Amino acid sequence: MSQVSDLIALLALAAVAGTWLKFTRARERAVDEARRQCAQHGLQLLDETVGLRNLRWRRVGGRRQLELGYAFEVSAHGDDRLDGRLWMHGDQLAGVSLPSLGTPLHEAGGAVPEAAADNVIPLRPRRPRIEQ
């Protein structure tokens, strides 16, 4: 009976190793895709890495397929860190979310442009609530 249990343990170990290799290949493909997306949009991929954030089942073409969601950080100007995400179905890119790069808030001189100054909403402290 110990031969059967040894065989089951060996099969379980092989399944874990196979799954780990598959996720490693998928992560490498996600890094390549993040690098390509950053180059296409004029961003710098920071740390040259992505991190797995979620797994979920999605219906793709009538079939249920595992979707892997990765998060990574990019820089637009070299002194900022912005979040990006991408989703993969196997080796295919399913979606990407990169930060929007609107007009910068500060010009080279350090002054706030008038257009940006009009969009600023000042935060005021709350007044204490008076209980009766």
> Taking residues 20-44, what's their average pLDDT?
92
pTM over 0.85? The answer is no
CA atoms within 13 Å, Cβ hemisphere of 116: 10
Query: Between the CA of residue 70 and those of 30, 64, 93, 97, what are the distances in Å?
Result: 7, 19, 11, 10
Query: Between the CA of residue 85 and those of 5, 88, 128, what are the distances in Å?
Result: 42, 10, 41
> Taking residues 30-38, what's their average pLDDT?
93
Helix (H) or strand (E) holding 68: strand 63-75
Tens-digit pLDDT profile for residues 49-59: 899 999 999 88
Residue 126: the pLDDT is 61
For residue 132, pLDDT over 80 is answered with no
The tokens describing 97, both together, are 């979310």
For residue 107, pLDDT over 90 is answered with no
Residue 90: the pLDDT is 82
